[in-house]
Amino acid sequence: MVATIKAERLREMLSASAPMRTLDVRSPAEFATGHVPGAVNIPMEQVKSRMQDVPQGPLVLICEGGQRAEIVAGWLAAVHHVTVLEGGTRAWRNAGYPLVASAPCRWTLERQVRLIAGLVVLLGTVLSVLINAKWVYLAMFVGAGLTFAGLTNLCGMAAVLAKMPWNSEQNAKSALLRSPHPDCGP
């Protein structure tokens, strides 16, 4: 069982300048949209290869809801004293504590891919039931694409979505100018 800490207690410890380090294991895009002040970002998938970058001393692990942080805690428990922020950044945000934001609130490419893929699979399935059974091939095509992306780490849908106007760097910069500290809700 991994030790946990509530957002209120973590804030008290950080305010008291206690020797506590925070490590956010979310993706860089998630981290940029809002993180606990002073947190260091090492994405979950990079932790094992970047062990030298993991801060020394007592460590609080943070992700959006706590699940990824618990997994990383299992990896680090043998060499670090680790605690997981209960409820993650979501709990911190819901408690009304400040977040440091360095990017506009926008969905990560991974989230956009999940939404679009889910909608296309749903559409293909519904159309195959209501209109013509051949529409099931649309759902199968998306499933094959996601399988390929999982095996190769190359995602055609993500590549296309990255080029969309709402994901352009220019739009990100102009959004930052309009809202330097966006409220990045769930």
φ and ψ at residue 20, rounded to 5 degrees: -125, 130
Ordered by where they begin, the domains of the chain are 4-94 (3.40.250.10), 109-178 (no CATH)
pLDDT in tens, 90-141: 999 999 999 998 765 567 778 889 899 999 999 999 999 999 999 999 999 9
Q: Is the overall model pTM greater than 0.75, yes or no?
A: no
Task: Name residue 24's amino acid.
Answer: D
Give residue 181's pLDDT.
Answer: 35
For residues 3 and 86, the answer to whether their CB atoms sit within 8 Å is no
Give the pair of three-digit tokens for residue 124: 């293909």
Chain position carrying tokens 């981290």: 31
**Under DSSP, is residue 66 helix (H, G, I), strand (E, B) or coil?**
coil
pLDDT in tens, 152-181: 888 888 888 888 887 765 444 444 333 333
Q: How far is the CA of 116 from the CAs of 14, 15, 20, 122, 175, in angstroms?
A: 39, 42, 40, 10, 23
